[in-house]
Amino acid sequence: MNIEFEDKALEELYENGHTAIKPYNRLSKDVIVRYVKVVNYMKAACRIENLYLINSLHYEKKKGNLKGVDVVRINDKYRLHFRSTPNKQGIVVNAIITDITKHYE
């Protein structure tokens, strides 16, 4: 999949493993390592349906006030939010990473 980052801090976190920009500068090293791993899974996927096959991601499309947002697990506590968009043939192959959040907060 083609991955883009909505927030410069998320891109910096992925590329360098750290960022000085809040709130991501407080993430623990193991969460950052897992975040990089999850983004690499997404990059390796040919299409959005491939994310369903990786059980540890628990891929889901949100409903309600988060409609249009897709979510995968980073770990038990953190989630990676992104928006997916289809190509001209209608196959979802693009993702814009928007946020890392704590689950239930």
Beta-strand pair 78-86/70-73: antiparallel
Does the pLDDT of residue 105 top 80, yes or no?
no
Distance in Å from the first CA to the final CA of the chain: 29
Domain with residue 92: its CATH number is: 3.30.2310.20
**Cα atoms in the 13 Å half-sphere on the side-chain side of 79:** 16
List, for residues 22-63, the tens digit of each pLDDT value: 889 999 999 999 999 999 999 999 988 899 999 999 999 999
- Dump the DSSP string for 70-101: EEEESSSSEEEEEEEEE-TTS-EEEEEEEEEE
Distance CA 79, CA 73 (A): 5
- Structural domains counted in the chain: 1
Task: Tell me the residue range of the domain where 93 lies.
Answer: 2-102
pLDDT recorded at residue 32: 96
pTM: 0.91
